[in-house]
Amino acid sequence: MRLTLSAQDLAFRHEMAELFTTVVPHEIRDTVLDGGEVTAEMIRTSQRALDAAGLAVPHWPVEWGGRDWTQLQRHLWHEEMQRAGVPTPLPFNTSMIGPVLAQFASQEMKERFLPATANLDIWWSQGFSEPDAGSDLASLRTTAVRDGDDWVVNGQKTWTTLGQYGDWIFTLVRTDPEAKKQRGISMLLIDMSSPGLEVRPIELIDGGHEVNEVWFTDVRVPAENLVGEVNQGWTMAKFLLGNERVGVAPVAQVKRTLARAKRLAGAELDNPLTRARIATLENELLALELTALRVVAHSEEGEPHPASSVLKLRGTELQQQVSELVVDLAGPASLTPASAGVSDLPLWARRSAPVYLNYRKASIYGGSNEIQRQIIARTILGL
């Protein structure tokens, strides 16, 4: 056991801090640090800058831009990235489809997609969930039927995050209607400009538009866009969802938000209840961060570390609690919307309630927190 970073890791950390602040434009980082609205364009600019500096996909295999860092170095990379206010590289690209392609796709497919995925030349959407297939993803009904050199896709996906910007969508489709649930599923990559594909917006309770329905009517997809083998989609889905669980644990970001809340609290920081609440949250975050460092969940031979469920479960709970704290610090000022043309109330306060409502999603997506508990109970505790 050792408490401190080695000289080498300290130097690494320093290098990261330096790189992030020089590589990514400060207007973008300031927006993130102020809790502002990060546009698609900012995400793109930032990820391209990271990719050029070899910082977008360090966890990928080296031949596709990975860096062969230790788990600790990856953690430091992520931590420093958050600290500098760099927008997280698009998770659909870097944490979801990228690693799947690197692991399961043909060489040809890797060459075609991986560099463009790392550089965000392709903006990927995740087309897994359907109206009747949420937690029970394997009950999905969107079909792909082979017709000559094409698959013909029909059905509907939903909750497609940022699908309005999507160039391509990776989908799970049913390719064998006869086989048992999980066995008849394949992963298909679909160009979102294909005829018959339609994206429809869904408005969320915070008034924002970040998710969509995606409808497929006789969409023709070249057979070569199927990842790996036919009817092997579930194996890839499990691999991807395991990574997603790790990817969505937002420790560093929540830490930043809490630090910021402390700064913005003003006179409320004199209230002992506020102080107790913040100190408690800081402690819980510390325990979580240390757990992340201790078990650093990773995929080995396609299997994520089971304790990654702890990170997702607790990380999203704390994310939600910190966003709740911020609304309470804003108090009555949380009632005036950010859109108000003239206001004497600070913008962070006017944004706080929609952000709080929006983060209710965090315990629902990426495998709901009930599903995480089930994984802990079954896989870890053997119950």
Partner 1 sequence: MDFTHDDEQLALRDAVRALLRSRYGDFEERRRAVRTELGHDESLWRQLAEMGVLGLPFAEEDGGMDAGPVEVGLVAQEFGRVLAPEPFLASVVLAGGTVAAVGSAEQRTEILTALAAGERRVALAHAEPGNRWSNIATDVTATDDDGHWTLSGVKEPVLAGDAEQLLISARLPDGGTGLFLVDGDATTRTTTTAYDGTRVTRVECDATAGTPLGEPGADVTREIATALDRARIAACHEALGGMEVALETTTAYLRSRKQFGVTLNHFQALTFRAADMYVALELTRSIVAWATMVAATGDADETRRAVARAALQVSRAGRHIGQEAIQLHGGIAMTAEYLVGNVTAHLTALDHLFGDGQHHLSELMTELEKHEALDPLTAPSGPDQEER
Ligand X SMILES: Cc1cc2nc3c(=O)[nH]c(=O)nc-3n(C[C@H](O)[C@H](O)[C@H](O)COP(=O)(O)OP(=O)(O)OC[C@H]3O[C@@H](n4cnc5c(N)ncnc54)[C@H](O)[C@@H]3O)c2cc1C
Positions annotated as catalytic residues are: 244
Q: How far apart are CA 123 and CA 94, in angstroms?
A: 10
DSSP string computed for 155-196:
EEE---TTGGG-SEEEEEEES-SSS-GGGGEEEEEEETTSTT
How many residues in the shown chain lie near ligand X by CB under 6 A? 17
Query: Smallest distance, Å, CB 88 to partner 1?
Result: 21
Coil/strand/helix, residue 215: strand
* Residues composing the chain: 383
Nearer to ligand X, 159 or 216 (CB): 159
Contact in structure between 362 and 319 (CB atoms under 8 Å): yes
Which DSSP state fits 207? S
Contact in structure between 226 and 186 (CB atoms under 8 Å): yes
229 contributes a contact to partner 1 by CB under 8 A: no
Distances (CA, A) of 326 to 205, 265, 278: 18, 8, 10
368 contributes a contact to ligand X by CB under 6 A: yes
The only residue of 61, 134, 208, 302 in contact with ligand X, by rule CB under 6 A: 134
Nearer to ligand X, 76 or 162 (CB): 162
Pick one of partner 1, ligand X, none as the site partner of residue 126 (Cβ within 5 to 8 A by kind).
ligand X
273 contributes a contact to partner 1 by CB under 8 A: yes
Query: Smallest distance, Å, CB 189 to ligand X?
Result: 14
The only residue of 8, 22, 70, 135 in contact with partner 1, by rule CB under 8 A: 135
Tokens of 164: 């309005």
292 contributes a contact to partner 1 by CB under 8 A: no
Q: Which of residues 335-354 bind partner 1 (CB under 8 A)?
A: 335-337, 339-345, 353-354
Burial of 122 (0-12, 13-18, 19+ CB in 10 A): buried
126 contributes a contact to ligand X by CB under 6 A: yes
Binding mask 173-212 for ligand X (x = CB under 6 A): --------------------------------------x-
Question: HEC profile for 217-230?
Answer: EEEEEEHHHECCCC
Q: How far apart are CA 278 and CA 194, in angstroms?
A: 50
The only residue of 145, 204, 230, 376 in contact with partner 1, by rule CB under 8 A: 204
Q: Which helix (H) or strand (E) holds 147?
A: strand 143-147
Instruction: Give the footprint of partner 1 on this chain (CB under 8 A).
Output: 129, 132, 134-136, 139, 158-159, 202-207, 211, 267-268, 271, 273-274, 277, 320, 324, 327-328, 330-337, 339-345, 353-354, 356-357, 360-361, 363-365, 368-370, 373-374
Instruction: Give the footprint of ligand X on this chain (CB under 6 A).
Output: 126-129, 134-135, 159-161, 211, 361, 364-365, 368, 370-371, 374
